[in-house]
Amino acid sequence: MAPAPTSTFTPEAPPAIIPNASSRSDGFSPGAIIGIVIAIICLLLAVPLIAICLRRYEKTRLRETPKSPESSNISLRSVQEHHSLSSILVTKELSRSSIRMERVDSGIKRPDEIYENGRERERGWSCTEVRVPRKYSFHVLFKMFNMQIALPTLLLAPAVLAATKGAGDVWTHSPRYDYIIVGGGTSGLVVANRLSEDYNVSVAVIEAGGVELYNPNITDTSKYGNAFSTSVDWQYESVPQTFAGNASQVLRAGKALGGTSNINGMTYLRAEAAQIDAWQQIGNAGWDWESLMPYYKKSEYIQQPRESQLLRGASMDLKTHGTTGPLAVGWTNNMMGEEVMSSINQTFDTLGVPFNEEPNAGAMRGLTVFPKTIERADNVREDAGRAYYWPVSKRPNLDIYLESFVEKMIWHPESENRDAKRTASGVVFSGLNGTSTTILANREVILSAGSLRSPLLLEQSGVGNPSILQEHNIDVVVDLPFVGENLQDQTTTDMFYTNNNSTNFTGLAGYAAYFNVDDVFESDLAAFNASIASALKQYAGRTANASGIIDSSVTEKLFRIQYDLIFKNKIPISEIIVSPAATGPITIEYWGLLPFSRGSIHINSTNASAPANINPNYFMLDYDIRQQIATAKMARKFANTAPFSNALSSETTPGLDVVPTNASDAVWEKWLKSTYRSNFHYISTAAMMPRELGGVVDSNLTVYGTSNVRVVDASVIPFQVCGHLTSTLYAVAEKAADMIKARYE
């Protein structure tokens, strides 16, 4: 029997759910048929009585129920005794008590210490008043209503239970929710929070990882990278990269409540206005910079910089930021000193790159001391769990299944007509012991598992390219060949320098510089522009050939939009992050922001947990390596320009013995392809585009060919953004939540 979470609500009008072929009974016995007939008669007699009860109950509730109902206290032991859970269910006080038991004396406040002392009010949390309670029990009826009404209803119950027992037990007893969200990460927790603001709906989140609220490798803002290759990192692996040294790449993504927001660099930098406008340009109505900006602000709680932080480079325009959102954004308390900022700023200014006081307003070119997703008071990482889940963890209509791996969606059989859109009935997932569990959705299934997981769930559920599905004997539910295609990622390289100890580099750094094509190619710009313009058709053809399903004319249209953003709108194409350190090397990290190469991700097996076929096709198109070479030269030029160069002794990576001062592009290319890594900014594997352009979801984020399946994560973003993904993902998820709510108003 499937576990029945204590806060699961009985739906007012659940759809008729039929088990899939593997679970469906061959038929009903004569006794079961008679029982069902009796049950129907009993229900017809009981409905008027129940209706009277509920009307009277609501009147009583409206007089007595507070606006923010408190959840019941549940112990870990009681849940284990009463439910054979194949997963860990975080619900109400269970989540808090279990974490409290695991807590070490880390100096970090507990969730109840943080959120019950005014912060929740400060950030403007609210919920809709309960209008109709969704969970009733007979003891409540006895207590609140006349026995003459409650007793007949009680007497009818055995007949109803007898009639339904044995007729599809898994489905009868499976928990039901209005919304099921697959993935409790950066996007999923935003949607869960906003949907559960309405206490009349129930929300379930299924997360493959656990709770890492007190893991210092995550919470400590100085320990970026320490969580890599641990249990909180999926550690996906690409296939050998044909165009990039033939080596595989480790592709990191967060596996914990909060997702990749637990292990990323915490950078809060948005995007260029023109590139968000391009989303609407390709047919996504309502998706432009002006429309998305309110959602950037809605998600954000900016912690304005103190005077000492302003002196060290922190800057902002308050009207660009949100002040009441859930996500804490700000600058660390231990920023590097003024002399470091002055040195870096003067050096970039010498190279013609200005200081940008507000890179989050839609124009990013220039140097900035960027804000981060941190809680300044405690100086800890602000991941999606800390921002969006823990403040509302007492909501009785929000359940979190932890350490639970979703295998597939299941479909409503009445939507099997190929001319009709298919309706998802729920999902099947497994816990640590491998036992499969089914939960059902009254309204929608929302995939927020990330760019390297959501498309695989679609394919495992029969949505995708028929040739791939049939290869694995998966029935085609929706013919949608672009699922898993259009994968885009950036490539990163590091240069290292020794510190001559002439400058005090104590503290944390946050210096990022953005360069447009003029800055990067300088006198070579005209020739580079002409060569790329003439190569677009060839790029489209190579991409189409590599994919096997994408039409080259469609790809060329999309490439021309990206070309215009680079060469006409002059949005940034490169980023350099300067990371000095008091001990150890000084790091200069750089990458291209807008690669043209496109890859794919597809299932390798019907086993949902089996490794996927991930092929980003790094450097398949020569724009990408030419741009990376030019950016590498610029990074070295910065390191050799005063005053910052005065703090450096020598270059250790790559070193002049490997890449000499006047090295050819071929030498640079060889070194770059042997040392690059993924930037972990994967997007577009379920792209929000018109279907004829290769889209998987429409502008409402609904999967084509379905009526109630949405994707809300980085896989819907059609083009790379210049900023780091996190801020844009929060905004997209906030907008998605409003769109979902609007459908049911």
pLDDT tens column, 431-443: 988 899 999 999 9
Residue 100 has pLDDT above 50, yes or no: no
Tell me the mean pLDDT in the region 232-258. Answer: 98
- The bridge status of strand 677-678 relative to strand 491-499 is antiparallel
Residues 50, 152: Cα–Cα separation, whole Å? 10
More confident of the two residues 247 and 116:
247
Class of domain 226-385+487-684+719-726: alpha beta
According to the model, what pLDDT value does residue 42 have? 56
User: Is 448 or 103 the better-scoring residue by pLDDT?
Assistant: 448
CA 541 to the chain's CA centroid: 32
For the beta carbon of residue 330, count every other beta carbon within 10 angstroms: 24
Residue 101 pLDDT exceeds 70: no
In a 3-state reduction of DSSP, which class is residue 730?
helix
pLDDT at residue number 532 = 99
**What's the DSSP call for residue 238?**
P
> Is the pLDDT score of 593 beyond 80?
yes
pLDDT over 80 at 67, yes or no: no
Q: Taking a C-beta distance cutoff of 8 angstroms, is the pair 681, 725 a contact?
A: yes
Q: What is the pLDDT of residue 434?
A: 86
**Rounded-to-integer distance, Cα 303 and Cα 268, Å:** 12
pLDDT in tens, 190-229: 999 999 999 999 999 999 999 999 999 999 999 999 999 9
> What pLDDT does residue 468 have?
98
Q: Between residues 118 and 184, which one has the greater pLDDT?
A: 184
- Marked catalytic residue, from 321, 412, 602, 681: 681
Respond yes or no on whether the N-terminal peptide bond of residue 216 is cis (omega within 30° of 0).
no
Residue 583's pLDDT is what? 86
| Radius of gyration for the alpha carbons in the chain, expressed in angstroms and rounded | 28
Report how far residue 152's alpha carbon sits from residue 366's, in angstroms, rounded to the nearest whole number.
75
**pLDDT on residue 220:** 95
CA separation for the pair 427, 176 (Å, rounded): 11
Q: Which residues contact 673 (CB under 8 A, 6 or more apart)?
A: 244, 245, 619, 625
Tell me the sheet residues that pair with 406. Answer: 429
Average pLDDT score over residue span 703-709: 98
724 catalytic per annotation: yes
- In a 13 Å sphere around the CA of 314, the CA atoms on its Cβ side amount to 25
Percent of the chain, pLDDT > 90?
74
Among the listed residues 321, 412, 602, 724, the single catalytic one is 724
Q: Is the pLDDT of residue 142 over 50?
A: no
- Pairwise CA distance, residues 712 & 154, whole Å: 43
> Across the chain, what does the average pLDDT equal?
84
Q: Which of 204, 232, 604, 97 is nearest to 437 (CA)?
A: 204
Sign of CA dihedral 551, 557, 560, 562: negative
What percentage of the chain has pLDDT greater than the value 70? 76
Q: With bands split at pLDDT 50, 70 and 90, how would you rate the model's confidence at 70?
A: very low
| Domain boundaries along the sequence of the chain | 29-66+138-167, 226-385+487-684+719-726
CB 628 within 8 A of CB 492: no
* pLDDT tens figures, 652-672: 999 999 999 999 999 999 999
Per mean pLDDT, which range of 93-107, 203-217, 291-305, 384-398 is the poorest?
Answer: 93-107
Query: For the purposes of burial, counting CB atoms within 10 Å of the CB of 185, is it exposed (0-12), middle (13-18) or buried (19 or more)?
Result: buried
Q: Quick one: pLDDT at residue 571?
A: 99
Check residue 133 and give its pLDDT: 30
Distance CA 486, CA 687 (A): 7
